[in-house]
A = this chain, B = another copy of it.
Amino acid sequence: MVSKSAGEIGIGMLGYAFMGKAHSNAFKKISYITWPPPLEPRLVGIAGRDTEAVGEAAKRYGYEYATGDWRELIADDRIGLFDNGGPNSLHAEPTIAAAQAGKHVICEKPLGRDANESYDIWQAVAATGVKHLCAFNYRFVPAVRLAREMIEAGELGEIRHFRGRYLQDWADDPSLDTWRFDPDAAGSGAMGDIGTHVIDLARFLNGEIKTVSGFVKTFVEGRKVDDALEAAVEFDNGSVGTIEGTRLALGRRNAFQWEINGSKGSLAFDMERLNELQVFRADGERARGFKTVLVSETNHPFWEYWWPPGHIIGWGDTFVHELHHVLKSIADDTDIAPYGATFEDGYRAAEVADAIVRSGETGQRETISYRT
């Protein structure tokens, strides 16, 4: 094969299922979609408990070896970036070990199973000086990044409202059995899985949350984690709104919807139409209304890598942007923040999530305070 000029980085992956597939696909596409890649990802090793399945995954994605023990990845000097896509209970120990072994680290969200665990992961990893990204991949949807850029540029003026809800419907079956319903493995249900996505984009687009008034709710009998969360929230910037998540909204498959209203305009979004951003401007024009912007123009975020305008990308492609950002941060020694979520962001999302749970238990508005 013709050799590539970019330096190489060895990848070690923990997990081979949903996130393992999504991240492996992204690393492979980075090599030629985001051309030239900041670093050429070399898929060195993949770990998982089911050795047959992880072996199959290694063949499928082209990892040089498979292992039943993630410690093998940590010990492998060829690996410069450890990517943790395992269940939540496996986030802390391997991620910290990898960082302490000098590897850069990516960890799926939620960072830990609660704020305390998340804090510990962050602190331990930050102490090592490696790059760390908590994989809130929706920051890397072109429409979301465009929204962020518009807000940063002041195009929305002073923000009054953020309303976010992540609606899914796959969990309305008491016989379902996955680690996602096991409190030890997952820590929480809808909250950690999708609630933290809403919290992260709320923070990404609108800044810190000041108070939450809400609760979590379990509908399915016998289920040990929450199915849904509801909260009224206040932000540091004076805006107010709601944060919601549920796995039982029939008909909504992946409807992460948010709307933000400012003194100069509004934006609205739905992940089921992730290539579109609704944009309203109070510009006094007679023909007044929300524009349906197909975020696929050459001057739109990430679009330099893709197709002509109007030729949309998929959900899986958001990981290409995310992991490219990590490789670039490593190659150039630049910060993951503010466009990528660091482990501190992962911790902060967990702090807000815990506050909503606590509000449900105490019946009180909870004020967010972050540890540093």
Given A25-B29, A32-B60, A289-B296 contact (CB < 8 Å): no
Chain B residues lying within 8 Å of A271, measured Cβ to Cβ, are 310
The closest CB in chain B to the CB of A299 belongs to B286
**Bound-state Cα–Cα, A255 to B364, Å:** 30
Contact bitstring A276-311, B, C-beta under 8 A = 1, else 0: 010111100011111111101101100000111111
**Bound-state Cα–Cα, A61 to B359, Å:** 52
Given A310-B272, A359-B213, A1-B248 contact (CB < 8 Å): no
B364 touches A254 (CB 8 A): no
Contact of A60 among B35, B230, B290 (CB under 8 A): B35
**Bound-state Cα–Cα, A310 to B273, Å:** 9
The closest CB in chain B to the CB of A214 belongs to B232
Contact of A286 among B252, B297, B314 (CB under 8 A): B297
Q: Which of A67-75, A98-106, A122-130, A238-246 contacts B (4 or more CB under 8 A)?
A: A238-246
The closest CB in chain B to the CB of A248 belongs to B160
**Shortest Cβ distance from A235 into chain B, in angstroms?**
11
A337 at the interface (CB under 8 A from B): no
A269 at the interface (CB under 8 A from B): no
A161 at the interface (CB under 8 A from B): yes
Within 8 A of B (CB), among A221-254: 228, 230-234, 238, 240-242, 244, 246, 248-254
A370 at the interface (CB under 8 A from B): no
A2 touches B250 (CB 8 A): no
Interface set of A (CB-CB < 8 Å, partner B) = 1-4, 18, 22, 24-25, 28-29, 31-33, 35-36, 58-66, 146, 150, 160-161, 163, 165, 167-170, 172, 213-215, 217, 219, 228, 230-234, 238, 240-242, 244, 246, 248-255, 259, 261-266, 271-274, 277, 279-282, 286-294, 296-297, 299-300, 306-317, 359, 363-365
28 contacts across the A-B interface (CB closer than 8 A) = A1-B64, A4-B59, A25-B29, A28-B29, A28-B32, A150-B287, A160-B219, A160-B248, A161-B246, A170-B309, A172-B263, A232-B232, A241-B244, A242-B242, A249-B261, A250-B261, A250-B262, A251-B290, A279-B287, A286-B297, A288-B293, A288-B294, A290-B292, A291-B292, A292-B292, A306-B316, A314-B314, A314-B317
